[in-house]
Amino acid sequence: AGLSVLFSFTIGLALAITLNDKRLKGKKIYRTLLIIPWAIPAFISALVWRNGFFNETYGVLNRFIVQGLFGLEPIKWLNDAFWAKVSVLLVNTWLGFPYMMTVSLGALQSIPEEFYEASSIDGATKFQRFRKITFPLLMVTVAPLLVGSFAFNFNNFTGIYLVTQGGPAIVGASTPAGATDILISYTFKLAFEGRGQDFGFASAISILIFIIVAGFSWINFKLSGSFEEVSR
């Protein structure tokens, strides 16, 4: 969940900074193209990635890049624990960066130009302006959304189940746990798949999930100042 947020935010912010450049031409076209992954339903994108990109024999990644471009042995994207995790991160990043780009672009456009003009007069470099002006002001708006995005990825059953189904299975595990399982997909397996319907154990984990997500929500409310608004 943390890496999914980090990668999608980093890519989204980089694209937002690029699209926010006044010298860039054709911004509307680029924005339209870059927002397509967000517009397409997540379950369709997940299935396309699973069957079209991660297929060990006919997948685009193996056939044209791993084997075709580099001449290497095909990667077992969904049957190896490490590469299965990489696969999930790739899909989550693909689905998440348009949202982060849109949010970051809106936050960047709300920063007054006077700050940059004053810093230029003082001789600040582009990196210094980003570190001292852009990023701190950006985080005021984006930080609560990052926490919310982390909570979403922490509980993202669709992304896990449609891409890897939680697999590959952990050898020797006493319960039906997989290398890419998260708590919600593990709970689903306990309750509805595997060797039996362990509703008691699944219910206990569901309560744990509720406590964790409630904690994220509390942090989100604190960062967004929602409690202060209510008290006023």
Q: What's the pLDDT at 197?
A: 81
- Residue 232 above 70 pLDDT? no
More confident residue, 194 or 144: 144
Tell which residue, 131, 83, 95, has the closest CA to residue 9.
Answer: 95
107/21 Cα distance (integer angstroms):
14
Split at pLDDT 50, 70, 90, the class of 226 is low
In this predicted model, what pLDDT tens digit does every residue of 128-185 receive, in sequence order?
999 999 999 999 889 989 999 999 999 999 999 999 999 999 988 888 899 999 999 9
Sign of CA dihedral 63, 68, 74, 75: negative
Domain ranges of the chain: 2-231
Cis peptide before 112 (omega within 30 of 0): no
- Written out in words, the top-level CATH class of the domain with range 2-231 is mainly alpha
Q: Kindly tell me the number of DSSP H helices and DSSP E strands found in the chain.
A: 13, 0
pLDDT value at residue 195: 64
Q: What is the mean pLDDT of the chain?
A: 91
Predicted confidence at residue 125, as pLDDT, reads 92
Residue of 219 and 10 predicted with greater confidence = 10
Residue 228 pLDDT grade (very low, low, confident, very high; cuts 50, 70, 90): low
Q: Which of 168, 228, 167, 176 is nearest to 205 (CA)?
A: 176
- The answer to whether the beta carbons of residues 131 and 115 sit under 8 Å apart is no
Predicted confidence (pLDDT) at residue 231 exceeds the cutoff of 70: no
Q: pLDDT tens digit string along 30-70?
A: 999 999 999 999 999 999 999 999 999 899 999 999 998 99
Residue 161: per-residue pLDDT? 94
pLDDT at 196: 64
